[in-house]
Amino acid sequence: MAPSLESARPIMAPSARTSVRMSTYSTMAPSLAPTTDSAGAEISDIEKGLDRMENKALSKQRVVLSEEKWANMSKLALGAKLERALDRRMSSQDAVMRPRTNSNIKNKPKSVPLIVQEKA
């Protein structure tokens, strides 16, 4: 071993190992990006698997709605969703809705219009 620049001692102690150690490093590194052939083969495999999973009998029963029917169903679904949300919101409230009385209206302060005068 060569001595270190700063001291006379060797940089590494000599090894007592008698066996020869082979390197596992290879210059033939595999490509990280798959080729288009393998990507196409993988896509076709996935497509075949999806075709096998599809139930042909159920596909024949599937309904295709017209634009008008689709819009109507969307409105109904939105209305039902809104009703459920309001029911959840109001069910945990303790307040009771009562009609307004005249006394509540009389006690309400009138708004005063704000007049801004420009400085001349």
CA distance 80 to 86: 10
CA distance 11 to 5: 9
Find all residues with CB under 8 Å of 13, minimum gap 6, and list them: 1
Spans of all domains in the chain: 63-90
- Regarding predicted confidence, which is higher, 89 or 66? 66
DSSP 8-state code for residue 10 = B
* 3 bridge partner residues: 10
- Give the three-state DSSP class for 33: coil
Full-model pTM: 0.29
Q: What is the pLDDT of residues 52-76, one digit of tens each?
A: 888 888 888 888 899 999 999 999 9
Statement: residue 4 has pLDDT above 60: no
